[in-house]
Structure 1
Amino acid sequence: MQDLKNKIEAVLFMTGRAMATEEIANFCNIGSVGAIQEALNALIQDYTQRPSGLEIFFDDGKYRLNIKREYNSLSTRLVSNCELDTPTQATLALIAYKQPALQSDIIKMRGNTAYDHIHALKEMEFITTEKSGRTRKLKLASKFFEYFDVVEETLKQKMTEVAERQSKLTEEPKKLEPDSQANPEIQETEKAVEEVKEIKIAPKKRNKLLPEQVVLEIQKTSPEVLKKLNSDDFGTTA
């Protein structure tokens, strides 16, 4: 039992993400999901009884090794600059603005490169996706509000203000110059994206990652995403 608990603990630590029992069993090369569940329960109990800065968090059928909430302020000091380039930040802002957003709508407004942005944002657990007809529905994940310096109520208030402005645009007749191709509604949406970015697309702390922390981040990142990154994306110190 202890050996299995150690394996589970190592898997949760190395992946750094939420995992279902079946996936943990696969990583541990254990055929019995029941045995994994029993060891998980024992490991959770161990963490509640021992002095530790970590805990195993269970949500939506998945387990994750997390820093305890009382130490969140410490963890933010170890977070680097937002690991998102400007285009990906804009896509995230648009998802936040429209959430729940349809992936097809985001692609129409941001172009086909937004597929890569959405994939990266999902890998980083800033958003969740679920099937919705022939497309997918995109929502902000809890990690978004933990990582970025904004509360959900503030975001909702800003979204309400923007929606009201867009509603007025729809009701008012278009006043465009004959040779103008500008669309006021699109311009208003773009303005909203920038305003949303002003609120939240900035990490709580902007410290650089230490080299050993970069190694941990690389271990948590999928091969597909790593292929698209270069050394500058990890914000390492000189």
Structure 2
Amino acid sequence: MFNLDEVNKVKLTTKIEALLYIKGKALSLAEIATSLQAETETIEEALIELMSDYAHRDSALEIVENNLGYSLQLKSAYETLLKDSIPAELGKGALRTLAAIAIKYPLLQTDLIEMRGSSAYQQVGELVELGFIRKRPQTDGRSYWLEVTDKFHQYFEIDKLAIS
């Protein structure tokens, strides 16, 4: 038999991990608790468990706490690999924003900002300028639809995205 509390804690750690990845920035305990609708004490326990899990597994990622909160990031030992792998003109934040658009495509800019934070406005501008995405006005609202372009498909050598 399994303990239901343990199952719920595992699910919470997975949700925290996903939230930290999607946001791509440090989040306070309060921000995480609000986003996941949980008590800060429960979030803190789950974070400690998640940090311990990352520390004991062979992973290129780690959960780090700093004065802004908690974040999921690449271990410093892998920074050179990152610099060699990502196109020079795209930073980590812009790349994560581009990934979110490609996965959720077409995506409303307001939904993207809710997922990624206000820094995504600048990243969208950068991605439009580089030709990886285009903005199409929403017909029944004030936001824009964000779509990947042919340049995105050619640059990343992606023939077709599997959209579910």
Instruction: Tell me if structure 2 keeps the 8 A contact 1:214–1:234.
Output: no
Instruction: Tell me if structure 2 keeps the 8 A contact 1:57–1:63.
Output: yes
Q: Which residue of 2 aligns with 1:231?
A: 128
Structure-to-structure mapping, 1:75-224, within 5 angstroms: 75-82=82-89, 214-216=98-100, 220=116, 222=118, 224=121
Size of the aligned set, in residue pairs, is 112
Matching residue within 57, 61, 68 for 2:64: 57
RMSD: 3.1
- Paired letter, 1:39: A
**1:70 maps onto 2:77 in alignment:** yes
Distance 1:76 1:229 in 2: 19
* C-alpha deviation, 1:16, in angstroms: 0.9
Give the % identical residues: 27
Distance 1:61 1:36 in 2: 16
Query: Matched residue of 2:79: which SS?
Result: helix
* C-alpha deviation, 1:57, in angstroms: 1.1
* C-alpha deviation, 1:229, in angstroms: 4.9
TM-score, normalised with respect to structure 1:
0.40
Q: Which residue of 1 aligns with 2:108?
A: none
Higher relative CO (Cα under 8 Å, sequence separation at least 6) belongs to 1
Query: Matched residue of 2:37: which SS?
Result: coil
Distance 2:82 2:124 in 1: 27
Instruction: Select the structure of larger CA radius of gyration.
Output: 1
